[in-house]
Structures are given as structure tokens and as C-alpha cells.
Amino acid sequence: MFPFRSLEGWAPMRRALFEFLVIVIGVLVALAADEWRQERAELQDLDEHLASVLEEVRDNADTVRVVRAGISARKMAGLESVIAHLESGDPSVPDPDALLKDFAESAAVWRPFISRNSFDALKTSGLLRLARDEELDDNISGTYEVPEILFGQVALIQGEYPIVVNEFIPSPYQSDLSGMRTYSGGKAPQIALDIGAAEAVALIHEERARLLRLARSETAVAPAVWYALTRSLDDFYELEQLLAGRLGVPAEAGAQ
């Protein structure tokens, strides 16, 4: 009788144990499902952030490319014209307005505006860890930090040439020749006339030796800027390709 009573006594306990295990397994499955859904949602959010960064990277690459092809090229051309004129020592200038424009272009100081709103949003979200891609993580961070570092190095060799040149540009010309004019669709008010173009050129020749020395120094800045722009452009192109590959979309980076 004892074994029989023992079996009868364990039957309810076995049922209770079975029900407990069913409940535990159900809870674990539910938790695993919730975790899977959450990770899927986070991965979707990551892809959305990366898509936004991709568009930002393409915009930044376009900005750098335009700056290098436009302002940087004009600065070099302006320096060539200014140095050739100053070295000649010829005070006669057929077109004083053109010479003043060359002076202004040769003294341009700028760095491309690098948008980083999408990049900052991605870093703040903390979702990049889900990509499990150290190359992508390092590439994104490095690409956005490199321009600041490179143009900081350019600033170290920047002399006083741009400031000195401004002393010789007549005030009415500053509105048209300002390096900031590309940031606005309008035109800044002109300041009242102080001297004309011919008088400004005469003053330039009075300081010819000083300006020639400073202009030659500025020729170290112009190629440094070009190198900084080119490295930044290379980095943006590489990142564009990595992001496009990750998202499964065509890369749009063009040839340099």
C-alpha cells in the first residue's frame, strides 16, 4: 500500500511542477520575443540614423567639392596675379578693379561648413553599437573630426596677409568682395566711398615690398587648404561608400 499511496501523493506535485515549468518557459519565451522585437526596432532606428548620416555625408562632400573647385581655385589664381603684379614693380594698372578683386580673392580665409546634426544624433542615440562594425564606427567619427583638425593646422601657418590686404580694399568694394557673400542670397549695404580703385592701387605700390613678402607667405597657406579639402573629400567619399553598402543602396560618390 505504501508505494501506491506514495504515487498518489506525488501526482498533484508533478502536475504543479509541470504547470510551474510551463509558466516559466512561457515567461522566458515572452521575454525573448520582447527582446527580439526591441532589437529589431533598434536596428530599424539605426538604419534610419545611418540613412540620415548618408544624406548628410553626401551634402558635406558636395560642399567641400564646390569650395575646392571654386574658392580655393580663385585664391590660388588671385595669388598668382597679385605676386606677378607686385614683382613687376609696374605702377600702371589697366584695370584697377580687377586687381583689387584679385587681392581680395587671394586673401580669402574660410573653411567649408560641415553639417553634423545627423552625426551628432547618431552618436547621442548610442545605436551604433548594434552595427558591430568597428571600421564603420571609426570611419564615421574620423571623417567628421578630420576637417576640424586639418583646418586647425592650416590656421597655425596663416599669417597676417588677409588682414593687411583688407587695409587696401576701398570700403565700397568690401560688400562685393567679402568672402562671406556666398552665405547669403542678398547683398550687404555698401559703406560710403572713401577712396577709389586707382588710389587704392597707388597705396598698394607704396607697400609693394611688404605685400609681396606677405603674399609669398600666403602661398604656403593656399596648398595647405587644398590638401585639407582633398583629404576631407576623400574621407567623405569613403564613408559614403561604406554607408551605402551597409544600407544596400547605390553609392553616389563621384570622381574627384
Q: What is the pLDDT of residue 10?
A: 63
CB-CB contact of 60 with 140 (8 Å): no
Cell numbers linked to 145: 573630426
Cell numbers linked to 141: 567619427
Q: What is the pLDDT of residue 103?
A: 93
Three-class SS state of 248:
coil
What share of the chain in percent tops pLDDT 90?
A: 53
- The better pLDDT of the pair 166, 34 is held by 166
What share of the chain in percent tops pLDDT 70?
A: 84
- The better pLDDT of the pair 180, 249 is held by 249
Report whether pLDDT(74) > 80. yes
CB-CB contact of 154 with 221 (8 Å): yes
Report whether pLDDT(256) > 60. no
Three-class SS state of 233:
helix
Which of 139-153, 159-173, 216-230 shows the lowest per-residue confidence on average (mean pLDDT)? 159-173
Where helices occur in the chain by DSSP H, the ranges are: 2-67, 73-88, 96-106, 117-125, 134-157, 161-166, 171-177, 197-206, 208-247
**Which tens digits make up the pLDDT trace of 24-58?**
777 777 666 666 666 667 678 889 999 999 999 99
Q: What is the pLDDT of residue 162?
A: 93
**pLDDT class of 255 with cuts at 50, 70, 90:** very low
**Which tens digits make up the pLDDT trace of 167-201?**
898 887 787 777 677 667 777 777 777 788 889 99
**Which tens digits make up the pLDDT trace of 197-242?**
889 999 999 999 999 999 999 999 999 999 999 999 999 999 999 9
**pLDDT class of 7 with cuts at 50, 70, 90:** low
- The better pLDDT of the pair 88, 18 is held by 88
Region 116-137: what's the mean pLDDT? Answer: 89
Q: What is the pLDDT of residue 53?
A: 96
